[in-house]
Amino acid sequence: MKQYDYLIVGSGLFGATFAYRAKQLGKKVLVIDKRPHLGGNVYCEKMEGINVHKYGAHIFHTNSKKVWDFVNSLVEFNRYTNCPIANYKGELYNLPFNMNTFNRMWPEVHTPIQAQAKIDEQKAEAVASLKGRKPRNLEEQALCLVGKDIFKKLIKEYTEKQWGRDCKDLPAFIIKRLPVRMVFDNNYFNDCYQGIPIGGYNKLIEALLDGVECITEVDFFKSKYKTWKKYADKLVYTGPIDEYFGYKLGKLDWRTVIFKTRVEGTPNYQGNAVINYTSHNEPYTRIIEHKHFEMFGQEVYDSPKTVLSEEYSTEYKEGMEPYYPVNDERNNALAEEYRKLSLHEDNVIFGGRLGQYKYYDMAPIIEQVLSIQL
């Protein structure tokens, strides 16, 4: 008899949710993770009494009542609403692009009709400059979607910092659409449900993995579990899909993020959880002030210090954390070849951002796991 029904590689949201479901069905499960902690990229580290999103800001949002009820059955979520700010050389703009943004961009614009006319005028100028051809790069595509003013201040330099390339050197399909909202609403997401687990994401992971056998600091490929069929009937693999296959078709590319986290001796540094820096004046893409995810009103000032994380987007190198799949033709085609190989792996489930080489928000990951027939 094998010791486990499922060996799960990786304790992020996909692996932890799968483990929870399997345990609920009476299955024997082992979760292994090469990091010294559980939770994958949603892991929080406590600093100055504040839950710091160690691997970048995670904001849970969904339109699925089933998913929302599921996570809230494990831990109560707060009322955090994501309303990021863009800072362009000291000018502050609301995101996503809405009436507050347009009035700040063009002070004479006060109504949706005026805003739409301004955008349409600039879009028409961009389309005319192409002389009938389709946009060839991201810059041309963005100009045709929102016009020159929004592109210059809120897209161009920020995107170049994210990708490490000039917008003219990025493919047009990266930006298929840009949200433009003709309302005075700063809520970044349109979803019905949104929030952060009260007490931090570790509470959610602890609830998902309660009663599940877990081992940290175990690299699947350097451990005895690589020969997983000795131990389990099925494997749930959430690591990089190309690594699973020994990179035999070639390596997939990633973008990654470097975080510089510091403590400031003030209760409120920037007044918002997320501020994007959209010019090249600053080398970082954004600053996260973590306390604003869970502290509101006077509660912010009850804590005398605050914790900030500057985010620097950079090229992935061996040994770094892979964050974002590179959405270009080469990598999309290579990833599809690996996905085809994965279909022929008996009793192996490939899941999550790394295992499928697709960027996912948190709720779709949980929804995907809830739909799997165990």
Residue 35 lies in a domain: yes
pLDDT digits (tens, 9 = 90+) for 294-313: 999 999 999 999 999 999 99
pLDDT at 174: 86
What DSSP string describes 223-285?
SGGGSGGGTEEEEEE-S-HHHHTTTTT-PPPEEEEEEEEEEESSS-SSSSSEEEE-STTSSSS
Determine the Cα angle at 33 with ends 31 and 35, to 5°.
155
Flag whether 336 is in a domain: yes
pLDDT reported for residue 2 = 87
User: In total, how many domains does the chain have?
Assistant: 2
Is residue 48 classed exposed, middle or buried when 0-12, 13-18 and 19+ CB atoms within 10 A define those classes? middle
What's the token pair of residue 16?
Answer: 């932890």
Question: Burial of 78 by CB count in 10 Å (0-12 exposed, 13-18 middle, 19+ buried)?
Answer: middle
Q: How many contiguous H segments (helices) and E segments (strands) does the chain have?
A: 13, 16
Among 174, 203, 234, where does a domain finish? Answer: 174
Q: What is the pLDDT of residue 212?
A: 98
Q: Is the pLDDT of residue 1 over 80?
A: no
Q: Tell me whether residue 91 is in a domain.
A: no
Tell me, yes or no, whether 32 and 130 share the same domain. Answer: no
Extract the tokens encoding 126. Answer: 């961009």
| Residue span of the structural domain in which 115 resides | 96-174
Among residues 92, 100, 105, 68, the alpha carbon closest in space to that of 278 is found at 92
Looking at the fold, whether 225 and 343 belong to one and the same domain comes out as: yes
Tokens of 332: 């999309």
Which whole-number Å values give the CA distances from 337 to 215, 277, 334, 366, in the listed order? 32, 37, 5, 25
Q: Is 309 exposed, middle or buried (0-12, 13-18, 19+ CB in 10 A)?
A: buried
Torsion sign over Cα 265, 268, 274, 275:
negative
DSSP-assigned states of every residue in 297-322: TTHHHHSS-EEEEEEEEEE--TTSPP
Is 187 a member of any domain?
no
**Could you tell me if 335 and 243 lie in one domain?**
yes
Residue 328 has pLDDT above 90, yes or no: no
Reading the block at residue 165, the tokens are 């390339």
Same domain, 225 and 366: yes
Each residue's pLDDT tens digit, 164-223 = 999 999 999 888 888 899 999 999 999 999 999 999 999 999 999 999 999 999 999 999
Residues 101 and 170 in one domain: yes
Q: Does residue 202 sit in the same domain as residue 70?
A: yes
Q: Are residues 105 and 138 in the same domain?
A: yes
Give catalytic residue positions: 177, 181, 255, 286, 311, 359, 361
Phi, psi of 202 (to 5 degrees): -60, -30
Nearest to 35 by CA among 51, 50, 16: 16
Domain-located, residue 362: yes
Distance CA 238, CA 218 (A): 14
Is 268 contained in some domain?
A: no
CA distance 56 to 353: 15
> Do 100 and 238 fall within a single domain?
no
Indicate if 106 and 200 belong to the same structural domain.
no
204 and 337 co-located in one domain: yes
Rounded to the nearest integer, the mean pLDDT of the chain is 96
Q: Which residues contact 220 (CB under 8 A, 6 or more apart)?
A: 9, 32, 34, 226, 237, 239
Q: Could you give the 3-state DSSP secondary structure of residue 53?
A: strand
Q: Which domain CATH number covers 232?
A: 3.40.50.720
Whether residue 122 is found in the same domain as residue 228: no
